[in-house]
Structure 1
Amino acid sequence: MAQLNIENRVIENERIVLGREDIAFLGPDLTLRGCTVTIRVTARNLILIRPRLIDCIIEVKQELKNLRWYRAFLKGCRFTGTMSGNDFGLWPVEEGAEKTLGGIEEAARTLGGIEDCDFSGARLDACRFVNCDVDTLKLPSWPCFTFLAPTHRQRELLAAPWPGTSRITVEAMLKSPPETAAVTFSAPAVAKYGGTTEESLRAVLQTLDGVRF
């Protein structure tokens, strides 16, 4: 495998390809602006060290599993491809760190965060958005669906008549940090591992508040 280090610079309007055989390090002190980033590496081989991606197109060419995007600051980016178990935004930080960095907004810009990004052309499953304003994001429509502030609606969600074993998915989601602003799922994926159908899931989702299709 080849090690690819992209750091200590500003790159504008270029195509960056992270190939299957790469171990890619993005950052530190890296800003990508207006770039097209093609991702073929696994999450294990993509190491984010607080890069800033602004107005970029991010093309995921093979399913990207369990990448912690909260180690990057993302603004105005458009995503395509399939992602599962990815986390975006600003992961909860200690109060002392927030104060040192000048509050949560500056912490997001320093440690990681997301705003004004477009996922409408992506397929997301079990992807969380933490400590961010979901209203600035374009999330994918059905067959994807999104729970808004799920940990604050725990009683309602647990009381719903989930078909098959899909309740397990809901219970797992509710273990997310209380700062979780949204979680997006793929109905085909949930139906498959929940032993049910997309139509049965949608019938329950339509009875709930705080769900986007």
Structure 2
Amino acid sequence: MIARKVFYKDKQVENERLELTDKGAIYFLGRNLTLKNCTLVLKVAARNLFIRDVRFIDCTFEVKQELVNHQDWIRASLKGCRFKGRLSGCDFGHWPEYGNEPEYQLGTIEDCDFSEARLDACRFHGDDPSTLRFPRWPCFTLLDPLRRADELCNLKWPERFGRSLISLLDQSPEKRYKHPRSTMALSYYAPAEAKRLDTTEEAFKAAIEKCDFIVY
């Protein structure tokens, strides 16, 4: 069956509710699209959602199906937005050198609220994380992880998590492109990581207690 294509582009939309929930559709947001005070209900896989050159202002994202490995947020400007639901392996903000196209230069995130979201292995690039609200335990967020790399690696993590964290830091824009201070925060969901590594949530909490650069 050929997927139905749905386009939102070249306009400004305010105070509307957009239901992006048809699993037989591919949704294209952009180019030159501004959404303000809108609610977006997302219930499709990452491969069915494309974001290009979009400005989201004071929008709410209700993620009804876990959004996995969705990188297109780095092609969007997000200001004053709220996220609800499950997101895994997603990137937000400005990732320098990711691409030379103008749409990649738009990527930014500011004053956004993830307190009602569940984040696992999500990265925040190039912006000030102090303007963001992160989810609390059992989620935890590592702030400024490259600058804190030595301290992070010395924490008593479950062993395989410690190794995977080092590997992830080595793949960051700072390491790959020698760009300073791009990856500003990393967020994880302790139950998912514990299940993946066959360990306990308590093992993660024991590692991060008393660290003032970890939000939990």
- The answer, yes or no, to whether TM exceeds 0.5 is yes
1:164 CA drift (Å): 4.6
**What fraction of aligned residue pairs are identical, expressed as a percent?**
47
User: Aligned runs of 1:81-92 on 2, under 5 Å?
Assistant: 81-92=85-96
8 Å Cα contact 1:3-1:23 kept in structure 2: yes
- Return the letter of the residue paired with 1:39: L
- Return the letter of the residue paired with 1:38: V
- Is the aligned partner of 1:177 residue 2:181? no
- Is the aligned partner of 1:115 residue 2:110? yes
- Give 2:208's aligned residue: 205
1:158 CA drift (Å): 1.8
CA 1:177/1:171 → structure 2, altered by over 3 Å: closer, same or farther? same
SS of corresponding position for 2:167 = helix
Which runs of 5 or more residues in structure 2 are unaligned? Answer: 175-181
| Count of residue correspondences | 203
- Give 2:178's aligned residue: none
Which runs of 5 or more residues in structure 1 are unaligned? Answer: 99-107
User: What are the superposed Cα offsets for residues 111-145 of structure 1, whole Å, 9 maximum, x if unpaired?
Assistant: 21110111000000000000011111111000000
- Give 1:72's aligned residue: 76
8 Å Cα contact 2:42-2:62 kept in structure 1: yes
User: Aligned runs of 1:95-114 on 2, under 5 Å?
Assistant: 111-114=106-109
- Return the letter of the residue paired with 1:83: L
SS of corresponding position for 2:96 = coil
User: What are the superposed Cα offsets for residues 63-120 of structure 1, whole Å, 9 maximum, x if unpaired?
Assistant: 00011111111111110000000000011148x999xxxxxxxxx9952111011100
Name the stretch that deviates more: 44-53 or 203-212: 203-212
RMSD of the alignment, in Å? 2.0
SS of corresponding position for 2:173 = coil
- Is the aligned partner of 1:61 residue 2:57? no
